[in-house]
Amino acid sequence: MEQSSVLGLENQRKKEYNKVVSFFLNFIFFPLRAGLFGFSAFFTTVLLVKYMGTLIDKNALFLVDLTDIYLSSLGFFLIFTIRILENFREKK
């Protein structure tokens, strides 16, 4: 009888651990990973556009400014927010 209560307690701990891991993955890890993908996609696009600009105009300089980083961070926050909000969507 005592062994079944120990097994029940162990199963309850595993369920709680799985809930914590699921919360961490769904609300922290996956949104951060998606946000970094969004940042890199925006940053790559900005770099390609600037590079194409230097190919068209030989007098233009290829400089990466802080404003380029700010623009790319918009991609991070956009994709991060979308991924967070997907967790609150009703499942069908």
- DSSP output for 12-75: HHHHHHHHHHHHHIIIIIHHHHHHHHHHHHHHHHHHHHHHHHHHH-TT------HHHHHHHHHH
- CA nearest neighbour of 39 among 1, 91, 78, 4: 78
**Residue whose token pair is 């009888």:** 1
At residue 80, the 3 state secondary structure works out as helix
pTM of the model: 0.80
* pLDDT for res 77: 97
* pLDDT one-digit tens code per residue, 27-53: 999 999 999 999 999 999 999 999 999
* pLDDT one-digit tens code per residue, 61-84: 999 999 999 999 999 999 999 999
